[in-house]
């Protein structure tokens, strides 16, 4: 069988053209597919991204909500703690028996506690200057120096806060405000009772030492004085010229005065009174007043007695208490040599019977007020300086004390405080 070969002839240009068309179609198809894939991918990615964002947003929103709830709980808890601490601080400040106040950079009062209100009789305290409370220029300057020099100071001074008058301890501390201003914090404590107790302790020590000395001196002076007095009396009975008689009379008067001093010293040295018992203050006061009326020093004064019969009895020695009352009444009479009035009243206070002797004299100068109970201290020309010391020792022996309050030109008030029914 013969071999056949069939040949077809096509122009080269047509073949190339067909191939180009075929490649162009495929290229367009591939490119279209790629573009479509990219677009679809972008759409899918965008859709997924929105979904992821929504999921993340929901998750973050939930976390934010959880954190917000936790933060709210912390705020509530912290607010409760702050409220509790504020109440504790308020209770603490309210329980402190001292005045606490804050002054601004212009020395104006901007805050204070209730104690200052109780001390100062004024409706509104805010805005008052520091000088209103501290009139002493020296003390005012020392307090201001705490702010100027930025250091803590502490001073003790005698002050007058309206109804409150006595010794106060002032602590001044600089205080920075949140705005950076320098404020002044003051703590003012009433230490009058402490000062009084310290003074009574010092007075007790002086009295104890003097009592020991007085016993010996009274004995040593008493014996020769008795002999001198006896010889003077013998000489006075003899005949003498006028000069000698006058001299003996003067000697006799001075001997009598020395004898009175010795007797007071002897009484001062007795630490254990005899005849102790329960006594009614009213009866002792009335008896003393009746005796004093015969003294010429009491002729020009009016004595008013206000002693309730319902007062409890005191355990003491009656004659010695009358001696104390007589000393106080006669001292008041001496202070009112041109006339005046003396008010004697009594009351009970904290298991003590209090007897006040208030005169209308010139008062006791502040510079000697702390010395009036000192032995041998006197402002009288012919005084011994033992009357108040002896009285103080007697009252102290009964477990009591004597206080004094005096202002210039407003008279003086002596208050005897005796325990009720306390047997010594």
Which comes out higher in pLDDT, residue 423 or 280?
280
Closest C-alpha to 106, from 185, 184, 186: 184
What CATH class does 277-424 carry?
alpha beta
**Tell me, what's the pLDDT at 424?**
43
Question: Would you say residue 201 has pLDDT above 70?
Answer: no
**Tell me, what's the pLDDT at 345?**
92
Which comes out higher in pLDDT, residue 220 or 389?
389
CB 375 within 8 A of CB 383: no
pLDDT mean over 171-199: 80
- Domain spans of the chain, in order of start: 1-95, 97-190, 193-271, 277-424
| Structure confidence at residue 319 as a pLDDT band (50, 70, 90) | confident
**Tell me, what's the pLDDT at 418?**
92
User: What's the token pair of residue 142?
Assistant: 């020392």
pTM (predicted TM-score): 0.44
CB 417 within 8 A of CB 353: yes
pLDDT digits (tens, 9 = 90+) for 13-71: 555 565 555 556 666 666 677 677 767 777 767 776 666 666 666 776 777 777 778 88
Which comes out higher in pLDDT, residue 334 or 177?
334
193-271 to CATH, choices 1.10.3470, 1.25.40, 1.10.10, 1.10.287: 1.10.287
How far apart (Å, rounded) are the C-alpha atoms in residues 97 and 99? 7
137-171: burial string, b at 16+ Cβ within 10 Å, e else? eebbebbbebbeeeeeeebeeebebeebeebbbbb
CATH for 97-190 is 3.30.450.20
- The set of residues, in sequence order, having a beta carbon less than 8 Å from that of 319 and lying 6+ positions away, is 275
pLDDT digits (tens, 9 = 90+) for 144-162: 887 777 778 888 777 776 6
Q: Computed from CA positions of residues 215, 216, 218, 224, in that sequence, does the dihedral angle turn out positive or negative? A: positive
How far apart (Å, rounded) are the C-alpha atoms in residues 314 and 278? 5
């Amino acid at each position: 069988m013969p071999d056949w070969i069939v040949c077809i002839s096509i122009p080269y240009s047509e073949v190339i053209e067909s191939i180009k068309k075929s490649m162009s179609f495929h290229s367009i198809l591939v490119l279209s597919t790629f573009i479509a894939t990219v677009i679809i991918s972008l759409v899918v990615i965008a859709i997924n991204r929105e979904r992821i964002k929504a999921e993340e947003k929901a998750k973050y929103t939930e976390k934010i909500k959880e954190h917000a709830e936790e933060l709210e709980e912390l705020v509530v808890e912290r607010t409760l703690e702050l409220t509790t601490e504020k109440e504790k601080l308020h209770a603490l400040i309210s329980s402190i028996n001292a005045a606490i106040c804050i002054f601004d950079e212009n020395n104006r009062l901007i805050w204070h506690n209730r104690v200052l209100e109780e001390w100062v009789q004024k409706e509104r305290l805010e805005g008052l200057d520091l000088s209103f409370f501290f009139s002493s220029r020296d003390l005012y300057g020392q307090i201001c120096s705490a702010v100027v020099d930025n250091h803590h100071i502490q001073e003790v001074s005698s002050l007058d806060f309206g109804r409150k008058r006595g010794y106060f301890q002032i602590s001044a501390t600089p205080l920075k405000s949140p705005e950076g201003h320098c404020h002044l914090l003051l703590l003012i404590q009433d230490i009058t009772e402490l000062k009084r107790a310290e003074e009574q302790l010092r007075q007790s020590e002086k009295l104890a030492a003097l009592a020991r000395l007085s016993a010996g001196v009274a004995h040593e002076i008493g014996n020769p004085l008795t002999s001198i007095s006896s010889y003077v009396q013998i000489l006075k009975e003899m005949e003498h010229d006028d000069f000698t008689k006058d001299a003996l009379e003067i000697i006799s008067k001075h001997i009598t005065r020395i004898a009175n001093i010795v007797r007071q010293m002897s009484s001062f040295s007795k630490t254990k009174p005899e005849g102790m018992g329960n006594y009614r203050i009213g009866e002792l006061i009335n008896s003393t007043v009746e005796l004093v009326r015969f003294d010429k020093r009491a002729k020009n004064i009016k004595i008013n007695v206000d002693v309730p019969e319902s007062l409890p009895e005191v355990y003491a020695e009656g004659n010695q208490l009358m001696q104390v009352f007589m000393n106080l009444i006669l001292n008041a009479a001496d202070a009112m040599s041109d006339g005046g009035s003396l008010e004697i009243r009594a009351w009970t206070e904290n298991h003590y019977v209090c007897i006040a002797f208030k005169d209308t004299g010139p008062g006791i100068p502040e510079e000697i007020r702390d010395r009036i109970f000192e032995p041998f201290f006197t402002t009288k020309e012919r005084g011994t300086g033992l009357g108040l010391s002896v009285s103080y020792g007697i009252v102290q022996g009964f477990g009591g004390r004597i206080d004094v309050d005096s202002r210039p030109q407003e008279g003086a008030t002596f208050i005897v405080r005796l325990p009720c029914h306390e047997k010594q």
